[in-house]
Amino acid sequence: MEASANIEVETRGKRSIGWQWPLVALVVVFLAVAVNSKIGFILSDPYSLSFRHQGSHKNEKLKVPPEEIRKLRNSPPSSYSVKFESFTTMMDLVKDGYYESRPYTVGEFNWTLLIYPRGGDKDYTYTSYVSLYARIDDSNIIDSQVVYAEIKFFVYNYIHKAYYYYQDETGSEQFLPTAWFTAPWVSYGYISEGGECVFGIDVFVAPPFNKWENFSYDENISNPIFNWNITYVSTIHIDPYTSEPFSSGGRNWVLKVYPNGYGIGTGNSLSLYLLSESNGNDYVRAKLRVLNQYSSNHVEKQVEGWSNVAENGWGFDKFISLSDLEDRTKIFVVNDLLKVEVTIMAFSKTNSI
């Protein structure tokens, strides 16, 4: 795209500074405003929308299914409304031009509503239709900033006492026939008995996109093994008993034991858990061991999955029975020393960006 200080919109040969969108009674339109580029929007055949970059030969066409919705709505427009005490007087005053509303603020931007009583495109055959447009003031939009908005146009119907709207996937340059606004009010209801007319607009501006996260799964862990020597294990009366923090894979962890058991292991087992200091709901794969101090006959169990309990992380209520710990022939405890080990094999990371 070419850099530009202004935003130009082309609608079948008509250009204006800012954004302008023609619609039939109401259409939902999503805007993307980029100050550093010129983008033209061309409404061609009834069910296609062309995007053209000025100064470029690229032309992409987005096909959409033919879909048209006509409804009545009781609630008034939420952004802005314009009431004409006499539609015909306004039409006489603007002649072939347009009426532009006072600025109104939505999403920290100033907008105006443009109403062409005799149509907004003089190069085509829509001069017998009322056209509506939305214009954004781009003076407070910084370079490279993008504005996304959903826009709806309304007209009040005095017969149904509701706001009529027309919604189409691509919109139309024909809002409603001008004759419907100049005929006696009982004919169509878009003017009151006294000649009044009300148009409206809804503008919903999406906030800048800046909240997202990045998920990854790391299987190449630095410093994966941590050994914890628990001294005087028979005299520990603290439940739980927690190791000093250690670093593995760039994250801090701790081991936690319940010497007298936790949950279903209370009174019959030693409970052992691995905890991440990130306190996140991460996916972890690791091996926990209670080491046999004279052979390789260790008690080893693997954990893999999401954190099951926020307080205890990953582990087992019944890791090793108290009877096995107390059995001197199995040599898990020597001189009141118990050795515990963990190998962290992989874990997920979720970072805010």
259 shares its domain with 280: yes
pLDDT value of residue 68: 44
Q: Mean of the pLDDT values across residues 45-49?
A: 27
50 shares its domain with 68: yes
Residue 141 inside a domain? The answer is yes
Confidence of residue 43 (pLDDT cuts 50, 70, 90): very low
Residue 2 inside a domain? The answer is no
33 shares its domain with 168: yes
| Residue 103 phi, psi dihedral angles, 5° rounding | -65, 145
134 shares its domain with 46: yes
Q: What is the pLDDT of residues 179-214, one digit of tens each?
A: 888 888 888 999 999 999 999 998 888 887 788 888
Q: Return d(Cα 295, Cα 104) in angstroms, integer.
A: 80
End-to-end CA distance of the chain: 27
Q: Mean of the pLDDT values across residues 303-317?
A: 84
H-only helix segments in 174-255: 179-182, 185-188
Residue 318 inside a domain? The answer is yes
Residue 1 inside a domain? The answer is no
* Host domain of residue 272: 214-352
Q: Mean of the pLDDT values across residues 312-326?
A: 92
Q: Are 240 and 257 in contact (CB under 8 A)?
A: yes
Report in angstroms the alpha-carbon separations of 89 from 94, 95, 97, 131, 180: 9, 10, 13, 17, 15
Residue 276 inside a domain? The answer is yes
CATH number of the domain within which 128 lies:
2.60.210.10
147 shares its domain with 184: yes
Q: What is the pLDDT of residues 1-33, one digit of tens each?
A: 333 333 223 222 333 333 333 333 333 343 443
54 shares its domain with 131: yes
Give me the chain's average pLDDT, please.
77
201 shares its domain with 218: no
187 shares its domain with 233: no
47 shares its domain with 171: yes
Residue 340 inside a domain? The answer is yes
Q: What percent of the chain has pLDDT over 70?
A: 75
191 shares its domain with 250: no
**Which of 171, 206, 241 is the last residue before a domain boundary?**
206
**Which of 206, 237, 268 is the last residue before a domain boundary?**
206
41 shares its domain with 176: yes
Confidence of residue 51 (pLDDT cuts 50, 70, 90): very low
Domain count, the chain: 2
**Which of 161, 179, 206 is the last residue before a domain boundary?**
206
Residue 200 inside a domain? The answer is yes
Helix (H) or strand (E) holding 203: strand 197-206
Residue 177 inside a domain? The answer is yes
Q: Mean of the pLDDT values across residues 218-239?
A: 89
45 shares its domain with 100: yes
